[in-house]
A and B are shown apart, each in its own frame.
Chain A
Amino acid sequence: GESVGLHLPTLSVQEGDNSIINCAYSNSASDYFIWYKQESGKGPQFIIDIRSNMDKRQGQRVTVLLNKTVKHLSLQIAATQPGDSAVYFCAENPHQGGKLIFGQGTELSVKP
């Protein structure tokens, strides 16, 4: 039979626009969250993290927002560039140290 792969959510943005990638996490006990970027043919690359005692954290061109009430995490990328095209994964840590639970990923496509 025909194999079916994961159908990743896709976000397509124009170069220079801001991007917002969303993630719903599963465990209300999770106390640490990470966003990873995975470019084609490469391993996931750490972008930014946030602990559960915060609701916002900023990095260079990226901001992570955490809403624990609705178990929602978002990654905002300012002035999106073609080099930002990748699959973005959120990950949660439901235990102190150890396993991360990864989301399925969102594919970001930046149009020049």
Chain B
Amino acid sequence: DARVTQTPRHKVTEMGQEVTMRCQPILGHNTVFWYRQTMMQGLELLAYFRNRAPLDDSGMPKDRFSAEMPDATLATLKIQPSEPRDSAVYFCASGLPSGVAETQYFGPGTRLLVL
């Protein structure tokens, strides 16, 4: 059954290292979202793409975070350099707009711990 996949599922790294998270959206979905979830802030939208073009990345710290869609089947979120405050669960979601409705389907998340 179709689902969003994310890799890696878990990542432990040291402060200053680069972190790359990958997402494969559901085949045919043309919108991809990146979220971060923490106990302090809940679920925050970082960025989203439609037809591979970035539509909004206002929720993303620009100095260290970058998001791209090299092709329709792959979205990446990079943090360079990583900091302990980046520790969180990062979710990718994909969707296919249909009129006013756009249900987002979430992946299992990447649990990131920056030491």
In the docked arrangement, what's the CA distance between A44 and B97, Å? 19
Asked if B34 is at the interface of the complex by the 8 Å CB criterion, the answer is: no
Contacting residues, chain A, for B104 (C-beta < 8 A): 34, 46, 100
**Interface of chain B residues 68 through 115 with chain A (CB within 8 A):** 91, 93, 97, 99-109
**Which secondary structure characterizes the binding site on chain A?**
loop
Contacting residues, chain A, for B55 (C-beta < 8 A): 98
Binds B, one of A19-27, A60-68, A70-78, A89-97: A89-97
B106 lies within 8 A of A44 (CB): yes
Contacting residues, chain A, for B106 (C-beta < 8 A): 36, 43-45
Contacting residues, chain B, for A97 (C-beta < 8 A): 31, 50, 97, 100, 102
Query: Which bracket fits the contact residues of A?
Result: 20 to 34
What is the minimal beta-carbon distance from B53 to any residue of chain A, in angstroms? 12
In the docked arrangement, what's the CA distance between A89 and B37, Å? 13
B91 lies within 8 A of A3 (CB): no
A43 lies within 8 A of B40 (CB): no
Contacting residues, chain B, for A105 (C-beta < 8 A): 42-43
Contacting residues, chain B, for A42 (C-beta < 8 A): 108-109
Contacting residues, chain A, for B93 (C-beta < 8 A): 43-44
Contacting residues, chain B, for A6 (C-beta < 8 A): 39-42
Contacting residues, chain A, for B108 (C-beta < 8 A): 42-43
Asked if A84 is at the interface of the complex by the 8 Å CB criterion, the answer is: no
What is the minimal beta-carbon distance from B46 to any residue of chain A, in angstroms? 11
Asked if B45 is at the interface of the complex by the 8 Å CB criterion, the answer is: yes
Asked if A31 is at the interface of the complex by the 8 Å CB criterion, the answer is: yes
**Interface of chain B residues 18 through 38 with chain A (CB within 8 A):** 31
Residue of A nearest to B92 (CB): A43
Q: Knowing A43-B109, A44-B106, A45-B106 touch, does A32 contact B100 (C-beta < 8 A)? A: yes
Binding site for A on B (CB under 8 A): 4, 31, 39-43, 45, 48, 50, 55-56, 91, 93, 97, 99-109
Give 4 new A-B contacts, CB below 8 A, not counting A32-B101, A96-B99, A104-B42.
A42-B108, A43-B93, A44-B91, A96-B100
8 CB-based A-B contacts, threshold 8 Å: A4-B40, A36-B106, A43-B4, A43-B107, A45-B106, A93-B100, A98-B50, A100-B45
